[in-house]
Amino acid sequence: MPRGRACGLPTGRGLAEDLLAEERCFPLITCLEVIEHVPDPAGFVKVLTALLEPDGMLVLSTLNRTRRSWMTAKFGAEYVLRILPTGTHDWRAFITPAELAGLLRTAGLRVEATTGLRADPLTGRWRTGRGHVGELPDRSAPIATRRQHVMGEQDANPPQGQPSHTDVCH
């Protein structure tokens, strides 16, 4: 957060619903490795959408539901390496890139770009892209989404799927 403040960006950290209740709005929201842990991903994306300023960007990252992600994030991290408590991840809650794009579009966002993220254990860095030919990434990351519709005072009927409280961020 200090970097955001240094650049003059509004910053906030906390529960999305609490930030919404405070009528906070942001030009950029990053939500990394969270959505696979919430009970209602669609509702969570709608709340994030409501927190975006007009033309704001949302960057999400989540584990892709693949065999590889089960082996690394669930079995490997929780049972073999024990770097996460057992039960941290429910592989069935992992979200595929297509499912995530659908959630974003339903919430009134336009997916600008999507890439895969992969940890490189030799360097300790993250790499973007699909990896090897035909291989699905460990994590899916829609790089940026923008609100398609911003409610104004003259627009009393938001498009279907758009939260009715988005007029806070105009």
Q: Residues 28-40: what's their mean pLDDT?
A: 90
Residue 157 or 2, more confident: 2
> What crossing angle do the helices spanning 97-106 and 41-51 adopt, rounded to 10°?
50
Query: 101 in a domain, yes or no?
Result: yes
Higher-scoring residue by pLDDT: 109, 135 = 109
Domain residues for 129?
Answer: 25-154
The pLDDT score that the predictor gives to residue 16 is 86
Strands 109-120 and 52-63: unpaired
Is 1 within a domain? Answer: no
Tell which wins on pLDDT, 146 or 73: 73
pLDDT at site 103 = 94
The verdict on residue 136 lying in a domain is: yes
More confident residue, 146 or 156: 146
Instruction: Indicate whether 169 belongs to any domain.
Output: no
Rounded average pLDDT over 83-109: 90
- Structural domain contains residue 42: yes
Does residue 35 belong to any structural domain of this protein?
yes
For the chain, what is the domain count?
Answer: 1
For residue 169, pLDDT over 50 is answered with no
Name which residue leads in pLDDT, 74 or 2.
74
Render 84-126 in DSSP notation, one character per residue. S-TTS--GGG---HHHHHHHHHHTTEEEEEEEEEEEETTTTEE
Answer whether 144's CB lies under 8 Å from 59's CB.
yes
In a domain, 34, yes or no: yes
CA distances to 12, 13, 143 from 94, rounded to whole Å, are 26, 23, 18
CATH number, domain at 40?
3.40.50.150
pLDDT exceeds cutoff 50 at 158:
no
Tokens of 132: 């090897």
pLDDT band at 47 (very low <50, low <70, confident <90, very high): very high
Positive/negative CA dihedral, 79, 80, 85, 87? negative
Domain membership of residue 65 (yes or no) is: yes
